[in-house]
Structure 1
Amino acid sequence: MDATKRPLRIPPQFATYAQKHELFELYRRLIARLLMEKPEDPLTFMLEELKREDDDVPAIVIQGPPASGKTTIGKMVSAKLRTAHITPQILLEDDVSPLAAKGRAIIDKNQSIPMELWVQLIQARLKLFDCIKKGWVMEGFPENREQGLALQQVGISPKHFVILDAPDTVLIERQMGKRVDPQTGDVYHTTFDYPSNSEVEKRLVEPPEGCTEAEMTQRLVLYHRHIDGLRRCYHKFTKVINADQPKADVFSQVITALSSKHRSLAPHIPRIVLLGPTGCGKSVQAALLANKYDVISVSSGQLVKEAIANESKTGEAIKPYVNRDMPVPDNLVLKLIEDRLSQIDCVTRGWVLRGFPRTREQAENLDTAGYEPNRVFYLDVPNDSVYERLTLRMTDPVTGIIYHTLYNPPHSNQIKERCQRHPEDSDDAVQKRLAAYNAYVEELSDYYQTGLHINADQDPHTVFEFVESMLVSQLPTNLDRD
C-alpha cells in the first residue's frame, strides 16, 4: 500500500499522558514566564521553573469601591489561606526597604508616588519567601487599567480577581460610621460592626480623610471611572461579589469563588464509556452525544459486523464464533476497537464507546492498550423496565420503523399484522443478556470507581441532560489548608 494512503494511527498514550500531567498548561506557563522575564539563558530559566513546587499557591487581588470591606475581607482571606497580606500602606511601612523609604519621602512632600515605584515595591515584596511558598492576597491595588497592565508587564498576574460591589448609597452610609483601631488597623462601624472589647472601643478614631459625604462621593466617582478598564484587564478570572450583606456571607462567597477552578484552555478530548444492561438506551445516548459534541460513536457490536462484512483478517477470525452464537474472544474485539479508536477522527474529536468493556478484565485490557476513558457513565434501569422495553417492541419489515405495544403502537391493523419481533427480544434472550450483565457489573463498578450512575428509566432527553451536566462539569480545587 502507498504510504501516503495508509490510515494515520496516532498512539493514544500521547493525549492521555498530556492531559493527565497538564502539559498544555505547563507549556503555556513556561512561555508566558519566558516572555515576561526575557532571560539571557532560556533553557536554564525553564529548568529552574520546572523545579518550582509553588505553582498552585494563591495569587489573589481584592478590589472594590471605598467602604466595600476590602481590608476586612482581605485580612480574613489571608488568615484563612495562610498567605501574605499586601496593601499599599503595608508596603510603605517597611522600615528596611529603600524603596519604601523613597515612597514615604515622596508622600512627605505631598506628591503622588509614581506608578513605576509602586510596581517595584510590589515586585520586591512578591519575591520574598512567604509570598513564594504560601502565596499572597493583595488589596486595593491596582486601581486602574494602567497599573494592572504595568504589573502584567513584569510578570505579576493574579489567579483570582475579586471585586466587592455595593450600591453607592450603602457605601456612603458605611463610610460615615467607619472607625479605625490605630494599633491594629482593624476597621469597625458604629452601627453594623461595633467592637465588643471596651479597650478597643476607647481606641477607635475616625479615618483621617474621606468621611464626609462630599469626599466619599468624589472617591466613588473616581472608582467608577477606572473599574471598567480594570475589569477588562482581568476579565478571564474576575468574580464580582455582592458586598451589601453580612460580613460572614461575603467571606463565604469569596472563599467559594477562590475555590473554583478556572476552565483550562487545553484541548479536551472526550473519551466516554457507556455501561448498562441491554435496553438501557446506550445507543440513543451515544447518538445524542455524537450529534451535539461531534464525537465519534463507536459500537463494539457494529465493529464486529463491519469486520465480517468487509472480510478482513480479523473478521474472518471472528466469523466462526458469530455463526455458532459463541462469545467472540476479547483479543479479537479489542483489536477492532484499537484499530477504530486510533484513527485520526477519534483521536482529534474524541469518542463514546458502548458494548465494551463488559468485564473487569476487558476494562483492564482497554486501559493497558492506552484507551483510558475520562468519563464513565452507568445507565441504570430496573430489570422489569428492561423486559417491558424489549419484549414488547416490534419492527415493520417494510419501513424498518420500530414500534412498541405500549408507548408507540402501530398506527393501523395492517401495519400491526406485518410487524415482527426480533429473536433477540424474546423473553429467554433478554433474560440471558441481563444475567450476563449483572454477573460482571459489580466488578466493573469496583474498577471504574469514579463512574457516574444515572437513572436511565426516564425520557431519553432527560437522561441526556444528566449525562451532559456530568460531562462538562468542572471539579473545584481545595484551598482549605486546615
Structure 2
Amino acid sequence: MDVTSAPHQIPPEMALYAERHRIFELMQALMEALLIYRPQDPVDFLIGHLQKDSDEVPRVFMLGPPASGKTTISRWLCKHLSATYLCPQDLMHDRKLKKSREVLACLAQQEPLSDELWASLLEERLSADDCVDMGWVLDGFPETRDQALLLQGRGIAPRHVIMLYAPDTVLVERNLGKLLDPFTHEVYHATFDWPIDFMVQRRLVAPEGISEPATASRLLESHRHLPGLLQAYAKSHKAIDADQPCVDVFAQALSFVQSRPPSKAPFLPRVILLGPPGSGKRLQAALLAQKYGLVSLCLGDLLREQVAGRTPVGELIAPFFESGYPVSDSIILRVLKDRLGRQDCLSRGWVLHGYPRDIDQAALMKHTGFEPNRVFFLSLPTEVALQRLCQWATDPVSGERHHSLFKPPADPEVNQRLRRNPKDRPERVEVKADLYHQQVRELEEFYEDGIPVNADQDPYTIFEHIESSLVKSLPARGP
C-alpha cells in the first residue's frame, strides 16, 4: 500500500476474516516452522504442515524437582486433554525407536545417555502420529539448560512449560513415601495417595533412589539447573506452587495449558456491552473510551443526534419518538452502519452499548459486516437495578443529579426541590429488566464467545475484568 494515501479504507470484512481464522498466527507459525526445519522444498513442506493441523494441540514440558508431582499432574493433563504422555523412562524402553539399540547398549554398560541421544529419541517419538495429532505432555525433561537449548536447535519447542516448586522439606517427605505400581507405572504415596484396589496394594514397590540422601542429592542438582531452565523458557513458563492439594495444582496447570500465548497480531477492539438497566454499560463504555481511545456509541444518542440534526433519517425517526413506539430495525441499522463505517471507528475501534436488544437485531448487525470481537454480558439482580436507578433525582436549579443513598444533597432546601425522571419509576425499570432477561438467553447463544461479568460490584473492579478479557486472546475452543 502507498503510505501517502493513508488513512486506508479497509473493508471490515477483511479484519473479521483475519481474526476469525487467526490468519496472523497461522502465518507466524508457518514462518517459524520454515526457519526451524529449513526444508529443501518450502512449498511442499508448508502444505504438509497445514495438513497436519497441529498448531493448536498441547505441547507441554512438565518440569520441577523430585516429588513435586510432575507425573501426577502430567497424567491428569493427558487424560483431560486426550494428549500423549511421555517420560524419559518410556523413551529408554521404547523398542520401536531407531536409537533403541544404542540406548540398550548404554544401559547394559551402565553408562548415562548423552544429550544428543536423548534429543534423537524425543525427536523421533514426537514425529509419531499420536503426538502430532493429539499433542503431548513431556514429564521431567529437559533437566538442564544445555538439553533445553539442544531441543530448541532441533525444533522441539513446547507451547507451555510448567515449573513446579515446593519447599525441600515437603519434597523429601513426599519422596520417602512414594510407591510404584510396576504394571501401570502409576505412582502412589503411602500417606497421601493410597490405592483402593487391594491387588494394586499388594504389588506396589518402592522406586529406586528415594532414600533421604539420594533425594537430597537430586534436589541439590535440580536447584543448580533451575535458573538455566527458567532462562531458556523465560517467555513460555509458569511457576506453580506444588505445596497444595493436587486438584488445585492441576486446575492452575490446566488453565495455563489451555491459554493461548499473547498474540502480536494487530487488534482493533469492537466491543458490545449488554446488560439490564442499571448495570453500568455507559460507565464501562466511557472508561474503555478514555483508556484505549475507543469510540463510545450509544444507540439512543445516535438516534437523537439524527433527529436534532434534522437529517433525512432523523425525519424518519421523529414520528417514532413522538408516538413512543420503538424505532424500526431497518432505520436503526441504517444509522448504525453509517456511524460504524466512519474513519474514527475504523481506525480506533468502538464500544457499543445497549444494542442489539434481541437476536433479530444481532443477526441484522452481523449481515452488515460490523461484527464485534468481544461481547460482554453484564448481569445484575433486578432489586439492585431498582436501588441504583429509582432513587436518582435532579436539582432543577443547578441541574445536578443526586442519589438518596450514594449521593444525597447536603442542603435540605435542595432536597425539597429535587425532581425524579418518570423513566426511573420502579414499574418502568422492572419492565425493561424483564424484557432484557427474556431476550438475553438467545443473545448468549448467538454470541457463543460472550463473556459474563458480574455487575454487582465496584465499577473499577468490573472494568478490570472487562479490560483483562479485552487485551488477552480468547481461550481456545475445545473440539
Q: What TM-score comes out, normalization by structure 2 length? A: 0.78
Contact 1:10–1:344 (8 Å) recurs in 2? no
Q: How far does residue 440 in structure 1 lie from its aligned partner after superposition?
A: 7.1
Listed as ranges, the matches of 1:109-124 within 5 Å are 109=109, 111-124=111-124
Aligned residue type for 2:205:
L
Contact 1:382–1:457 (8 Å) recurs in 2? no
Listed as ranges, the matches of 1:255-270 within 5 Å are 256-257=254-255, 260-265=258-263, 266-270=265-269
Q: How far does residue 124 in structure 1 lie from its aligned partner after superposition?
A: 0.9
Contact 1:298–1:352 (8 Å) recurs in 2? yes
Between the aligned partners of 1:335 and 1:454, the Cα distance in structure 2 is: 30
Contact 1:241–1:253 (8 Å) recurs in 2? no
Q: How far does residue 56 in structure 1 lie from its aligned partner after superposition?
A: 3.5
Between the aligned partners of 1:181 and 1:453, the Cα distance in structure 2 is: 45
The structure that has the greater radius of gyration is 1
Structure 2 residue aligned with 1:160 = 160
Deviating more after overlay: 285-294 vs 255-264: 255-264
Structure 2 residue aligned with 1:228 = 227
Structure 2 residue aligned with 1:134 = 134
3-state SS of paired residue (2:163): strand
3-state SS of paired residue (2:239): strand
Q: How far does residue 133 in structure 1 lie from its aligned partner after superposition?
A: 2.6
Between the aligned partners of 1:112 and 1:431, the Cα distance in structure 2 is: 79
Between the aligned partners of 1:238 and 1:15, the Cα distance in structure 2 is: 31
Listed as ranges, the matches of 1:43-122 within 5 Å are 43-75=43-75, 77-78=77-78, 81-109=81-109, 111-122=111-122
Between the aligned partners of 1:474 and 1:344, the Cα distance in structure 2 is: 25
Note closer, same or farther for the CA distance 1:82–1:365 as it changes in structure 2 (3 Å cut): closer
Aligned residue type for 1:204:
V
3-state SS of paired residue (2:369): coil
3-state SS of paired residue (2:56): coil
**Alignment length, in residue pairs?**
470
Structure 2 residue aligned with 1:336 = 335
Contact 2:162–2:239 (8 Å) recurs in 1? yes
Contact 2:97–2:124 (8 Å) recurs in 1? no
- The answer to whether 1:125 aligns with 2:125 is yes
Listed as ranges, the matches of 1:201-220 within 5 Å are 201=202, 204=205, 207=208, 210-220=209-219
3-state SS of paired residue (1:377): strand
Between the aligned partners of 1:217 and 1:19, the Cα distance in structure 2 is: 50
- The answer to whether 1:150 aligns with 2:146 is no
Structure 2 residue aligned with 1:35 = 35
Q: How far does residue 202 in structure 1 lie from its aligned partner after superposition?
A: 6.8
Between the aligned partners of 1:224 and 1:395, the Cα distance in structure 2 is: 68
Structure 2 residue aligned with 1:283 = 282
Q: How far does residue 413 in structure 1 lie from its aligned partner after superposition?
A: 7.1
3-state SS of paired residue (2:282): helix
1:339-388 C-alpha deviation (Å, 9 max, x unpaired): 32233443344322134334544332212112223314356564896598
Note closer, same or farther for the CA distance 1:143–1:352 as it changes in structure 2 (3 Å cut): same
Q: How far does residue 136 in structure 1 lie from its aligned partner after superposition?
A: 2.2
Contact 2:148–2:232 (8 Å) recurs in 1? yes
Note closer, same or farther for the CA distance 1:21–1:69 as it changes in structure 2 (3 Å cut): same
Q: How far does residue 166 in structure 1 lie from its aligned partner after superposition?
A: 2.8
- The answer to whether 1:446 aligns with 2:442 is yes
Deviating more after overlay: 25-34 vs 371-380: 371-380
Aligned residue type for 1:356:
Y
Between the aligned partners of 1:383 and 1:242, the Cα distance in structure 2 is: 41
Deviating more after overlay: 193-202 vs 274-283: 193-202
Q: Which of 420, 426, 429 is the matching residue for 2:422? A: 426
Between the aligned partners of 1:51 and 1:214, the Cα distance in structure 2 is: 51
Q: How far does residue 123 in structure 1 lie from its aligned partner after superposition?
A: 0.8
Structure 2 residue aligned with 1:353 = 352
Listed as ranges, the matches of 1:9-20 within 5 Å are 9-20=9-20
Contact 1:272–1:352 (8 Å) recurs in 2? yes
Deviating more after overlay: 369-378 vs 428-437: 428-437
Note closer, same or farther for the CA distance 1:281–1:88 as it changes in structure 2 (3 Å cut): closer
Contact 1:380–1:453 (8 Å) recurs in 2? no
Aligned residue type for 2:169:
T
1:245-283 C-alpha deviation (Å, 9 max, x unpaired): 66x547744763466323541455433333456666433
Q: How far does residue 36 in structure 1 lie from its aligned partner after superposition?
A: 1.1
Aligned residue type for 1:42:
P
Structure 1 residue aligned with 2:361 = 362
3-state SS of paired residue (2:162): strand
Q: How far does residue 48 in structure 1 lie from its aligned partner after superposition?
A: 2.2
Between the aligned partners of 2:200 and 2:426, the Cα distance in structure 1 is: 80
Note closer, same or farther for the CA distance 1:307–1:41 as it changes in structure 2 (3 Å cut): farther
Identity of counterpart residues, as a percentage? 37
Between the aligned partners of 1:391 and 1:189, the Cα distance in structure 2 is: 61
Q: What TM-score comes out, normalization by structure 1 length? A: 0.77
Between the aligned partners of 2:172 and 2:430, the Cα distance in structure 1 is: 69
Which sections of structure 2, spanning at least 5 residues, go unmatched? none
Contact 1:74–1:139 (8 Å) recurs in 2? yes
Between the aligned partners of 1:171 and 1:404, the Cα distance in structure 2 is: 58
3-state SS of paired residue (1:272): strand
RMSD, aligned CA: 4.4
Which sections of structure 1, spanning at least 5 residues, go unmatched? none
